[in-house]
Amino acid sequence: MLVLLTMAPDADFLLKFISDTTYLEHHRGLTHSLLMLPLWSWLAWAGLRRWQGEQTLSPLLIGAALLMHIMLDLITSFGTMILAPLSDWRAALDLVYIVDPLFSACLLLPLLIGLFWKRRRRALAVSALVLMCAYLIMATLAHRQALAITRSAWPEADSVAALPMPFSPFHWQLIASYPGHYQRCSLNLWPHFSGTSRLFPIAFVQRYNANIHSAEHLQWQDLPAMSSLKVQRELPGMAFYRWFARFPVILEQDDRHIECGDLRFGAGVAGQKSAFRLRIDLGSNPKAWLIWRGESKSELTQRTAPFQWL
Average pLDDT of 188-211?
A: 84
How does residue 94 score in pLDDT terms, banded at 50, 70 and 90?
very high
Question: What is the predicted pLDDT for the residue at 307?
Answer: 65
- Cα 188 to Cα 208: distance, rounded to the nearest angstrom: 12
Identify the residue with better confidence: 133 or 308: 133
Q: By CB neighbour count within 10 A (0-12 exposed, 13-18 middle, 19+ buried), where does 151 fall?
A: middle
| CA distances for 138 relative to 131, 143, 165, 197, angstroms | 11, 9, 15, 19
Encoded amino acid at 274, one letter: S
Contact (CB, 8 A) for 298 and 25: no
Contact (CB, 8 A) for 63 and 37: yes
207 sits in which H/E element: helix 202-209
Question: What is the predicted pLDDT for the residue at 221?
Answer: 95
Mean pLDDT of the chain: 89
Full-model pTM: 0.90
The per-residue pLDDT for range 145-169, each reduced to its tens digit, is 999 999 999 999 999 999 999 999 9
Instruction: Lowest mean pLDDT of 179-188, 234-243, 278-287, 291-300, name the range.
Output: 291-300
Which one, of 157, 279, 153, lies nearest residue 216 by Cα?
A: 153
Phi and psi at 89, nearest 5°, equal -60, 135
- Cα 165 to Cα 234: distance, rounded to the nearest angstrom: 33
- The share of the chain scoring above pLDDT 90, in percent, equals 58
Task: Find the largest Cα–Cα distance for the chain.
Answer: 70
